[in-house]
Amino acid sequence: MEFNSSGSDSEALASALRAPTFSLLGKSDQLLICQSWKEPQHILFQLANLFFVSGFMAPNNKYGGLFLHTLLMVAFLITTAWAWNVLCAPDLFFYSFAAMIINMAQTIYLLFTLRQVKFPGELEDIYEVLFAPMRVPRMLFKRLVSLEYAQILNLHAGEAYAMQNLTRTDRLALLVAGKASVLSDHHFLHHIHPREFLDSPEFESTRSGKEDKYKVTIIAVTPCRYILWQRQNLEYLLVKENFLAAVFALLLERDITSKLYAMNDKIVTEKGENLDIRLPSVTGSMTYQVPPDNNEKEGFMEKQNRSQSIK
């Protein structure tokens, strides 16, 4: 009788410790409240959770993603060791090991994409001055100057890049090193310096598939190196890369404007004074200005020839 009474008391105590809960299915379940707490888990378990918490505090940027997957990889590695050596749970071991491999692969991929792409000294200068301020990624610039789309060529002093009325305008070149001159009917127009396009006006004024010739002669004053893009290859790349196309359009427009300013001193009035091409009234009247003497007429005609090629 005493045994039965003791059993009844135990059942009553267990019932009193149960709290009613409700599942998602609408059925009443009984949740047993812990009567006694176990000792804290192994130090590996604590360390793994510390890495989990730290990883999920990573910022939302490209380096934050690398930080997140690196810490998750370490956390799952520690969890794998805890499951194998302490808990002896094969299912938890294999799940943790698989998660560690996945995060390791993601970490390696992010390191590959974030690696610093280096260029030769002359191309590094081109990138830092022209393309880096436009936030062009290094990988995209590397593709732009790759052999698939571009060539790096040399010009000797006195060698012509383009001849007036002879060379087709089916390419675009960016001067990397050296100095070139632009001539029209053997009259000097302006110089071209490094990090400037050799033929931006001609490239912009000619459409793909149209056979046109240069209206000026471009000759190397000193030994030159330049990047050459064939029009068809470059336009194919710009169609696929819209952001790069917008950057190229801006660089070409700025380069053409610089060439116009370089020829500003060659435009004169009837009184022999220089005109400012920035004034709208001057821009509209340049077509109708007729210099009075031969020297001013030569300067005016040179400007007209170069303006026609820009248009």
59: three-class secondary structure by DSSP: coil
Asked whether residue 171 is assigned to any structural domain, the reply reads yes
Out of 85, 114, 143, a domain closes at 114
Q: Do 144 and 243 lie in a common domain?
A: yes
Q: What sign does the dihedral 213-215-221-222 (CA atoms) show? A: negative
Average pLDDT over residues 234-249: 93
Q: Residue 288: is its pLDDT beyond 50?
A: no
Q: How many folded domains does the chain comprise? A: 3
Q: Do 275 and 233 lie in a common domain?
A: no
302 to 182, 183, 193, 285: CA distances (angstroms): 10, 8, 20, 16
Residue 262 CA to residue 92 CA, distance in Å, equals 73
Q: Do 177 and 92 lie in a common domain?
A: no
Confidence tier at 275 by pLDDT (50, 70, 90):
low
Q: Do 76 and 136 lie in a common domain?
A: no
Residue in the block written with tokens 């070409």: 252
Indicate which CATH number applies to the domain containing 200: 2.60.120.10
Q: Which domain holds residue 279?
A: 263-311
Q: Residue 298: is its pLDDT beyond 90?
A: no
Q: Do 180 and 239 lie in a common domain?
A: yes
> Which among 213, 205, 311, 310 is positioned nearest to 262, based on CA atoms?
310
Q: Which residues of 9-42 are buried (b: 16+ CB within 10 A; e: fewer)?
A: eeeeeeeeeeeeeeeeeeeeeeeeeeeeeeeeee
Confidence tier at 266 by pLDDT (50, 70, 90):
low
Average pLDDT over residues 18-45: 62
- What are 144-202's pLDDT values in tens digits? 999 999 999 999 999 999 999 899 888 999 999 999 999 888 888 889 999 999 999 88
Confidence tier at 27 by pLDDT (50, 70, 90):
very low
Q: Do 131 and 199 lie in a common domain?
A: yes
Asked whether residue 142 is assigned to any structural domain, the reply reads yes
Average pLDDT over residues 50-54: 89
4: amino acid identity, one letter: N
Q: Residue 17: is its pLDDT beyond 70?
A: no
Highest mean pLDDT out of 31-40, 178-187, 200-209, 269-278: 178-187
Residue 36 CA to residue 307 CA, distance in Å, equals 91
Residue 29 CA to residue 22 CA, distance in Å, equals 6
| Residue pair 269/289 in contact by the 8 Å Cβ criterion | yes
Average pLDDT over residues 63-85: 91
Asked whether residue 208 is assigned to any structural domain, the reply reads yes
Q: What are phi and psi of 241, to 5 degrees?
A: -115, 90
> Which among 306, 169, 196 is positioned nearest to 252, based on CA atoms?
196
Q: Residue 62: is its pLDDT beyond 90?
A: no
Q: Do 161 and 240 lie in a common domain?
A: yes
Full DSSP string of 294-311: HHHHHHHHHHHHHHHHH-
pTM: 0.59
- What are 123-142's pLDDT values in tens digits? 999 999 999 999 998 889 99
55: amino acid identity, one letter: G
HSE-up of 128 (CA within 13 Å, CB side)? 9
